[in-house]
Amino acid sequence: MSSQNAVCDKLMTKLDYEEDRATMSFLRRRRLVDETKSRVLELKREFNKNHENMEGIKQQLLFSQLKGEHSSCRTFLRQEIETHERKKDKLVCQIVELERMLNERANADFARPEQQRSQTQ
């Protein structure tokens, strides 16, 4: 009887260990998802700020053209707009990639319970 108790204790310990591992794995995934969502929001704020700055520079360029200011000023403003356009493109790529990762992770987490159910049956 005591050997059966020992076997039961070992099994329970192993189950507890597996459950703890699964919980820790879930918490790590959850933290990673939360951090990724925060990063996406941060990048979107940066994108909006960049867009506002670029629109301001475009207005400056239009005023510069209307006033007939020196071409070097307009050239500088065009270069600034191009810089903001490149930054915008980079931000869009980063946001799209992070959102894709979030969707993949969500799909994997959604599929995981189905896989576990099919394995236990």
Is the pLDDT at 114 greater than 70, yes or no? no
Task: Quote the CA–CA distance of 97 and 1 in Å, as a whole number.
Answer: 58
Is the pLDDT at 48 greater than 90, yes or no? yes
Which pLDDT does position 26 carry in this prediction?
Answer: 83
What pTM was computed for the model?
0.70
Task: Quote the CA–CA distance of 25 and 112 in Å, as a whole number.
Answer: 12
User: For 60-74, 84-98, 100-114, which range has the lowest pLDDT when averaged over its residues?
Assistant: 100-114
Name the strand (E) or helix (H) holding 69. none
Contact, 62 vs 113, CB < 8 A? no
